[in-house]
A = this chain, B = another copy of it.
């Protein structure tokens, strides 16, 4: 049974996601349709790219990812199918959304979608349903995509911002604030100095003090802030039983400067 995982900014209020699924089911019914999220920040390609890269790692290797955060829908941006060496495949718009996840799996072949050859009616604003769902349906039902797909090399290579790591000082960025207000940075656990007890933290010019680095939320008292490595594998700023985003007024995109005693692991 094939697995199709969906990531969009379509939201849960509307019927858009169900229409995407309805098209896929017209090609094949015994399929596991898994929602990654449909509530990523509207049109926020960077945040969605981060969420996709984190989530896609956990899926089985033959999963097809249908991804739509698509501010340019209807314009000349192309649609893509990306095959990776792990076997995972990504279908969605060419705006960088899928690139960080695909790169992690090893980009093997990128094709653009020739919508004219799909032989379906295509609206100007809903390519998730009218283009990408058809391509996914054909892929999982063994239908030949024939000349719908054309090798393509000029695709958008979106790089997630990297932390700036120096001796005693890291500048990192909040890439995602989760439902709990946990503020997830772009500093991977492999980039955190060993045996560190705390960071001194500056956020947007404010010194917000010394915050311990712990292993789990309840390692500090309720209401106290902490750093820890979350399920994503990245450093996050949290508050035990509370919201770091509310407490420190953090939103995705904000920069943190962390200073500490010692050397970074990469030096």
Interface residues, chain A, CB within 8 Å of chain B?
A: 1, 3, 5, 7, 10-19, 21-23, 25-26, 29-40, 42-43, 51-52, 54-55, 58-60, 63, 71-75, 123-126, 129-130, 176, 178-180, 215-219, 228-231, 233, 241
Partner among B12, B19, B219 whose Cβ is within 8 Å of the Cβ of A55: B19
Residues of B within 8 A of A217 (CB): 71, 73-74, 125
Residue ID in chain B nearest A75 by CB atoms: B218
Q: Which of A52, A129, A216, A228 is most buried by chain B, counting CB atoms within 10 A of its CB?
A: A216
In the assembled complex, 25 residue pairs joining A and B whose CB atoms fall closer than 8 Å, in A order, are A1-B30, A5-B18, A10-B179, A11-B179, A12-B38, A13-B40, A13-B178, A14-B51, A15-B51, A15-B52, A17-B35, A18-B35, A18-B36, A18-B37, A19-B58, A22-B34, A26-B60, A29-B32, A43-B241, A71-B217, A71-B218, A74-B216, A124-B229, A125-B217, A126-B230
CA distance A58 to B124 in the complex (A): 16
CA distance A137 to B29 in the complex (A): 18
Which 3 A/B pairs are nearest by Cβ-Cβ distance?
A74-B216, A126-B231, A11-B179
Return A16 CB to nearest CB of chain B, in Å: 7
Residues of B within 8 A of A14 (CB): 37, 51, 176, 178-179
Partner among B3, B13, B40, B230 whose Cβ is within 8 Å of the Cβ of A39: B13
CA distance A159 to B237 in the complex (A): 34
State whether B180 touches A42 (Cβ < 8 A): yes
Return A127 CB to nearest CB of chain B, in Å: 9
Residues of B within 8 A of A130 (CB): 231
